[in-house]
Amino acid sequence: MMTQRMLRQLTALLLSVCLVAGSWPADAYASQTESVHEEQESDTEQEEAPASLPLSEETSLKRENTETSTTFLVGEEEKKTVFYQEPVRYEDETTGELIDYDPSLVSLTEEDMESLEESGLADTSKDIPNDEFGETEDDDPDTGESFDKRTIAGQRRELAQTKAPEVMLTLIDTALKAGLSASYVLFDCWFANPAQIQSIKEKDLDVIAMIKKSSRIKYEYAGEKLSIKEIYTRNKKRRGRSKYLLSVDVMLGKESPIPAKIVCVRNKANRKDWLAFVCTDMSLSEEEIIRIYGKRWQIEVFFKTCKSMLNLIGECHSLSYDALTAHTAIVFTRYMLLALEQRQNSD
């Protein structure tokens, strides 16, 4: 009996010791775990705190800007975005940040734009700055090889980097030197500015062209400088089945203006709209001006045929400037041979 009783007491003592020894580390571990969790939560709050705070006005607006737009803060929570036709900032290749262009560059005034448009210098869509490629004006865009301006290759490259209105005058001079003759020069509103028309008239050639409905280009009419829209509004239109709506005589150009006739017709594609043509040959009737200008559509048929049927676009895959020029000449030659064959068979 004594032995069993002593064994029970010894077992109870051992169990109590084990319980006491086991309970202390558990409490310490629990407290340590709680402190670690509290530290992690505090660190997380510190990291998330800046993200939850509202961004400064300057930073938030700068992040919303793009290359062609600027966002301004006009109220406490109201913003205004202004869009531009041309990029006002560029992306830094190293950092990827948007950097504003030189703030000293200012936009042209309406008077400057009017002067450029009338002189034919407002068309910059086809200009390629030489310094963009790090080349001289006579370098080949592909190889960087320099060409003498006296060679055909050099002249071709120089002409390709010339403004489109100047190229047109150069091509007219080339045609006249080759012995080609013409009574009229026809073109659409792309080149129809007073300076261009005067330059062609100086070559003893008359012009028949569609003119722009621009408020910047003025014509001298009834002693006033008026735009084509103002001239059209002030005059009474012809009714019935007349081929034209209005015909007026004007003076064209700023320096040494020349006489011209403006004929307005109804737009067949939109009966509520109207088109205007200018002619420097005052002896032509309105019907004859409309008929002759209609012949200009043949050049559109020529381009469409070369692109769709004579493989102007899909046949040559070269990146060489000379190869592309040669390919274009070959395609145009194909068209001329086919046109000559058709004319001989038809006649």
Residue 47, H or E segment: helix 2-52
Q: Alpha helix locations (H) across 120-242?
A: 152-160, 164-177, 194-201, 228-234
| Weakly modelled stretches of the chain, pLDDT under 70 | 1-7, 9-61, 63, 74-77, 83-86, 88, 90, 93, 101-147, 347
Task: Give residue 270's pLDDT.
Answer: 87
CA-based nearest residue to 282, from 249, 318, 319 = 249
**Nearest in space to 254 (alpha carbons), one of 226, 228, 218, 215:** 218
Q: pLDDT value at position 203?
A: 92
Contacts of 167 (CB under 8 A, 6+ apart): 159
Query: pLDDT value at position 124?
Result: 42
Q: Where are the beta strands (DSSP E) in the chain?
A: 69-73, 79-83, 89-91, 98-100, 184-187, 206-210, 219-221, 224-226, 246-252, 258-266, 274-279
* Secondary structure class of 244 (helix, strand, coil): coil
Task: Parse the chain into domains and list their residue ranges.
Answer: 57-100, 183-295, 304-346
Reported as a single tens digit per residue, the pLDDT across 200-230 is: 999 999 999 999 898 889 999 999 999 999 9
The span from the CA of 3 to the CA of 220, in Å, is 136
pTM of the full predicted structure?
0.57
Q: Give residue 109's pLDDT.
A: 56
Whole-angstrom distance, CA of residue 252 vs CA of residue 199: 12
pLDDT at 58: 46
What's the pLDDT at 185? Answer: 94
